[in-house]
Structures are given as C-alpha cells and as structure tokens.
Structure 1
Amino acid sequence: MTGDLEKRRDDEVEPAPVGGSAELGELIGRLTADEDMDRETRGRLLGRLARLLGQNARRAGAAGIARGRWLGDLLVEVAPHIPIRDRETLSAHHRGLTGEALADSLVRVASNATTGVGAAGGALAAVQFTAPPLLLTAPAQLAAETLVVAAIEVKLIAELHEVYGIRVEGPGAVRGRAFVTSWAKQRGINPLEAGTLGSALGSAAKAALRKRMLRVFGRSMTTMGPLLTGAAAGAALNRSATKALASTIRADLRATAGVPPPLPGEHRGLPSGD
C-alpha cells in the first residue's frame, strides 16, 4: 500500500524545472553530436555538466535521486536537444552506407561514444582520488555520466528508427518523450499503436524510465575505481550494454518494418519506408 502511494505521488507531482536547462541542453547536444570527440574535450564537458548537475541535485531531494526520478526527469528535459539525423543525412555521414551496414555503423559509433564516456569519467575520477576534497563531486559526476550515456543511446535508437524507415513525427518534445520511452522499455516505436506519441509519459513508462536510469547509474559507479581501473571497467561495461540494447531494438524494428534479419555476414538495403 505504501509503495502504491509513493508511486502515485511520483506520477502526480509535476517535476520542477531544472535550473540552467539551456546550458544543460547545450552540453548534452555537444556531447551527443560530436562523433570524434577526444577524451580531453569529453572530460572537460563532463566536468562542466557535473558541476551544473551538482547545483541542481539538492532541489531534487535525496528520495527523488535515490528512486531515479530526478535522473529520469533530466533525460526527458534534454531529449529535444539531442540532435537526430534523418536517413539521408546519416547515409551521407557514413560514407554512403544504407540498410544493415548503416545500422552497424551507427551502433559502432554509439558504442565508441559510450565507451569514451566511461573512459573519460574514470580518468576524471582518478584525478579526483588524488585530491580528497574533490571526492564530494563524485555523485554529480556519476549523474553526468549516466545522463550522457542515456542520451547517446536515445540518439542511437532514434536514428535506428530512421534507418529502418520508421519515421516518428511530431514536435520535438513529443518525439523526445517517445524515444526516451523506447529506451526505457527497450522496445522500438510503432507509430500506428494508440498512445505511442502521447503528450506525457504514463505511469508504466515513468517506472521503466526510473529503473533504467538507476541501472545505468549503477554501471557508472564502476568508473570510481582506484587509479585507472575504473576507466577500463566503465568503458567495457558501457560498450557491452550499448551493443546489447542496439541488438534488441534492431530486432524489434525489423519486425515492425517487416524486414527479415540478414544472414550472417550479409548486409542488405532496406525498403525506403517513406
């Protein structure tokens, strides 16, 4: 009974806007848009994001953070700022690839990006362990890593929909919520299903989002290991998780688009779907 009341309060109370949301959106946009970002730049932007989140964490309260609600609200807020390319632009950016080959390339780039976040976060943590007072920034750093990894994976999911010809239309905020829900539930979007592009997240979607954000947050905690062991562990876990998520989403999108899976070693073009 208590758990039900707690869930109801979480669902009914409108989340407070995040301070500095314009800067937050700009940082997420940069961290998800640059496919060739070097570790130093990524680490600097992560540090800036961590400081921004640290200023806002106390507004969320310990309970909201512990249940994943704050992180989930952040992801929903920044989702419209995540740059999503259409299929033609994606093909142009990936040497003219199409179909399964283009999807493979997107997964490879996203996996490299989440790997880079884990490595950069671990390197930053290694520096902080040499200065004990800076350990106080660790929770904000973990939140920053979690948010960026989630945003990169949301971007991957959105662009995989483009590759498989499943166009999700609507205002930026509505599309953002749809792709965040897809990420949280690890399911592709079927625009023909009723309620797919609703104006707000339902209770089930909110619960799935909180659970997923906490899972990624737990993954990010490995980057706090001593010296650079955390960097290696965080990088490896992020790469593996991003690839597994992509595999699940691609199977779902093939089913929705009516595209049979390719044979081992085979890459086929996909129907336009436009």
Structure 2
Amino acid sequence: MASPDRHSEDEAADPGQEVGELVGRLTQPGELEPAERRKLLGRLTRALSVGAARARKSGAGRGRWLADVFLNIAPRIPIRDLHTLSQHHQGLTGEELADDLVRTAMKGTMTVGAIGGAVAAAEFAAPPLLLSAPAQLVAETIVVAAIEVKLLAELHEVYGVHVDGTGAQRAIAFTAAWAKQRGIDPLAPSSVTLALGAATKTALRNRLLRVLGRHLTTFGPFLTGAVAGGTLNRMATKKLAAAIRDDLRVKTLPPGQERGRLGP
C-alpha cells in the first residue's frame, strides 16, 4: 500500500497532468479574481519547475522542452463552439462577436503579462540568460500562448472555418496555426494530418521562444516590468487577431461581403 508521501512523490514526478489542468483553468471563460489568478500561476510555476529541472538533466533545450509541454497541454485548452460563444457574449454574432473575443483575449494576456512583469520587477537584479529564464516567466509564456491558441480556434468558429478531426488533432492543428500566425485553410487536409511535422515543431519552438524572450524584457525596476509585460502582451495578441481575422475573411466569405473591405 502506497503511503501518502509516496503518492505526493508520484504527483511531483509527473507534473504534466497538473500543468494541463492549471492552464485549462487559467483559460476558461469568465473573469478570474486577481488573487485566484496569481495563486494558479504560482502553482503552475511550481509544476513547470519540476519539468524544467528534468529537462536540464536530460540535456533537452529550453525550446524543445517548451514545445513538448505545450503540445501536451494543447488538447486541454477549452474551445467553445459558435452557439456557446454567442451565449457567453450576450448573443453577439459575426464581426461583433469576433471583436468581443479579441477584447477578452487581449485583456487576459495583458493581465497575465502584468502579473509576470510585476514579479520580475520585484526580483530585478540583472537580465537572465534565455536558457535560465525564471519559472514564473515560463509559466506566463505558456498561459499567454494558450489564451492566443484559444482565441485563434474560436475565431475559426466565428468565421465558419470548420477543422475536422479528433479533439487532440484539432488542438494540434490550432497550435500549428498559432505557431505560423496564420488561419487554417479548410481546403487543405494536410493542415491537420501534417500538423506535427518537423517544420511545424520547429515553428512552435521558435514562436514560444519569441514569446518567452518578449517576457524577459519585462525585467526592470519598480513597476516598469508590470506595465511593459501587460502592454507587450496586449499588442502581440491584437496583432495576431488582426492577421487571423483577415486570413479567415478571405477564405470563408463570398465575394461582395467582408472581402471587399480588405482593400486591393
């Protein structure tokens, strides 16, 4: 019979499930109280620290480890269908619903960035090397990426781009699209079937490292880190949303409608 201590060791030895559950909670619809968000980010930081330590011992690079973690938790990101999205956003549809989704995502990544930036500012001494980034900022990177993947997936729902496959396949397809900052082409089945190819894994690793690198710039004295963290995340999410929406409008709407507003 396993002792309680042994049970705790087993949980610590395999933090992947806890990481997925925490990211799922941090990306669920609805507002989280600041104290609850900080608590969940703290737990996520501790869980990721265990995996990071193992990755260092095994010789795995930060980028590969980050990509592996994200691919593991991607199927746990809660993606809503169009009906549920409309219900959760006061009955909005079409462009108005997309606008509201973007505003919500921008607020979410801005809040996470402000929390991470404030922690970084409190611990300010000197900018660390990328491969020794504090676990808090790694956790922030994972959560921001999850919020943006969720936004990308739900924008596909709004614009009627349906991605076939199992839940896991769809999650990976949306993750691959996020890595490339593009919408999924509904006429290209390879968007799903080849989502885990070497090129896509490299794109995901590079994208996650860019986000982590952005968060490292939030190191600074006093509250400058919190302001920078929130602002940079908000701007990046806004840029992603604009690119995805333009992409999806071109792919899905008939001539004479939204496509005409995209210019020459």
Same fold (TM over 0.5): yes
* Cα offset, 1:29, TM superposition: 0.5
Question: Residues 84 and 158 of structure 1 are in contact (CA less than 8 Å); yes or no, is this contact kept in structure 2?
Answer: yes
* Cα offset, 1:167, TM superposition: 1.5
- 1:42 and 1:138 map into 2 onto residues whose CA distance is 21
* Cα offset, 1:40, TM superposition: 1.8
Work out which of the residue numbers 225, 232, 235 in structure 2 matches 1:237. 232
Instruction: In structure 2, give the amino acid aligned to 1:141.
Output: Q
- Aligned CA distance change for structure 1 residues 138 and 190 (closer, same or farther; 3 Å): closer
Work out which of the residue numbers 42, 51, 61 in structure 2 matches 1:47. 42
CA offsets, 1:85-141, max 9 Å, x none?
0001101111111000000000000000000001111233344459xxxxxx96211
- 1:43 and 1:108 map into 2 onto residues whose CA distance is 21
- 1:156 and 1:83 map into 2 onto residues whose CA distance is 10
The 3-state SS of whatever aligns with 1:53 is helix
Superposition pairs of residues 170-189 of structure 1, within 5 angstroms: 170-189=165-184
Does residue 261 (structure 1) correspond to residue 258 (structure 2)? The answer is yes
Correspondence for 1:89: 84
Work out which of the residue numbers 61, 64, 77 in structure 1 matches 2:60. 64
* Cα offset, 1:20, TM superposition: 1.6
Correspondence for 1:4: none
Question: Residues 43 and 121 of structure 1 are in contact (CA less than 8 Å); yes or no, is this contact kept in structure 2?
Answer: no
Work out which of the residue numbers 189, 192, 196 in structure 2 matches 1:194. 189
Correspondence for 1:211: 206
* Cα offset, 1:146, TM superposition: 0.4
Question: Residues 16 and 69 of structure 2 are in contact (CA less than 8 Å); yes or no, is this contact kept in structure 1?
Answer: no
Question: Residues 15 and 48 of structure 2 are in contact (CA less than 8 Å); yes or no, is this contact kept in structure 1?
Answer: no
* Cα offset, 1:199, TM superposition: 6.4
CA offsets, 1:30-78, max 9 Å, x none?
1001431122221111111011111110222386334x11111111111
Gaps of 5+ in 2: 1-12, 126-131
* Cα offset, 1:223, TM superposition: 3.1
Correspondence for 1:5: none
- Aligned CA distance change for structure 1 residues 211 and 233 (closer, same or farther; 3 Å): same
| TM-score in terms of structure 1 length | 0.82
- Aligned CA distance change for structure 1 residues 24 and 88 (closer, same or farther; 3 Å): same
Superposition pairs of residues 1-274 of structure 1, within 5 angstroms: 19-61=14-56, 64-66=60-62, 68-128=63-123, 139-198=134-193, 201-258=196-253, 260-261=257-258
Question: Residues 250 and 259 of structure 2 are in contact (CA less than 8 Å); yes or no, is this contact kept in structure 1?
Answer: no
Instruction: In structure 2, give the amino acid aligned to 1:22.
Output: Q
- 1:47 and 1:252 map into 2 onto residues whose CA distance is 36
The 3-state SS of whatever aligns with 1:227 is coil
Gaps of 5+ in 1: 1-17, 131-136, 265-274
- 2:170 and 2:81 map into 1 onto residues whose CA distance is 14
**205-214 or 35-44: which moved more?**
35-44
- 2:60 and 2:102 map into 1 onto residues whose CA distance is 32
The 3-state SS of whatever aligns with 1:64 is coil
| TM-score in terms of structure 2 length | 0.84
In the alignment of these two chains, the number of paired residues is 240
- Aligned CA distance change for structure 1 residues 257 and 263 (closer, same or farther; 3 Å): closer
The 3-state SS of whatever aligns with 2:191 is coil
- 1:225 and 1:262 map into 2 onto residues whose CA distance is 44
Question: Residues 218 and 228 of structure 2 are in contact (CA less than 8 Å); yes or no, is this contact kept in structure 1?
Answer: yes
The 3-state SS of whatever aligns with 1:121 is helix
CA offsets, 1:149-190, max 9 Å, x none?
000000000000000011212212111110000000011112
Root-mean-square deviation (CA, aligned residues, Å) is: 2.1
- 1:112 and 1:82 map into 2 onto residues whose CA distance is 18
The 3-state SS of whatever aligns with 2:52 is helix
The 3-state SS of whatever aligns with 2:162 is coil
Correspondence for 2:5: none
- 2:133 and 2:45 map into 1 onto residues whose CA distance is 9
